[in-house]
Amino acid sequence: MSLQTGPDGRARCAWTGMDAEYQRYHDEEWGTPLHGDRALFEKMALEGFQAGLSWITILRKRPRFREVFAGFEPAEVAAFGDDDVARLMADAGIIRNRAKIEATIGNARLVVDMADGELDALLWSFAPMAPHSRPVSFAEVPAVTPESTAMSKELRRRGFRFVGPTTMYALMQSTGMVDDHVVGCWRTT
């Protein structure tokens, strides 16, 4: 089943289930073009934290992530030190994974070293030039594409961490670089 009709009568991509937060995310964010270094850094960090977990876990913890990671302002996160890592490791409101926390701080330092708008331009340079045909079912949605693989390779070349090809395809979906709303979803009309 690729579509599910919610209590509001709208047909949505079935991955939302009947969870109100997932439905809101689907309706207002997922597949909507997102720009800006801070906003994209946040998505990159959260997608990295999601690796191996469900997105709903991250979505429910996002307010706390934003609070403890200084609104994902790259310059502020880049200034985090050992005391901040210890503080974050003790915070049950986020995913307490040292490697992911340290990667987020390290990635922020790389973003700070970039020119204003460079992260946005870099990430969007991997968006497919022509829109792809809408998937009819989720079986048609890839986990990795040549573009997400190229994005991952370039980010890793620059020193970014937790930016594997699957994670970067999820980033491409969440930021509207690709639009994988299935045929029949109200967002495709």
- Catalytic residue (choose from 15, 55, 124, 186): 55
13 labelled as ligand-binding?
yes
185 labelled as ligand-binding?
yes
Q: Is 25 a catalytic residue?
A: yes
Measured distance CA(22)–CA(47) in Å, rounded: 15
Measured distance CA(68)–CA(84) in Å, rounded: 9
- Catalytic residue (choose from 15, 25, 124, 186): 25
**Please, where are the H alpha helices in the chain?**
20-28, 37-50, 55-68, 74-78, 82-89, 98-112, 118-124, 146-157, 165-174
Residue type, 171: L
Question: Looking up tokens 């579509």, which residue turns up?
Answer: 3
181 labelled as ligand-binding?
yes
131 labelled as ligand-binding?
no
- Catalytic residue (choose from 22, 30, 42, 47): 47
Three-state secondary structure call for residue 33: coil
Residue type, 166: T
- Report the catalytic residues: 25, 47, 55
> Which residues fall in the annotated binding site for Zn(2+)?
13, 26, 181, 185
> Which residues fall in the annotated binding site?
13, 26, 181, 185
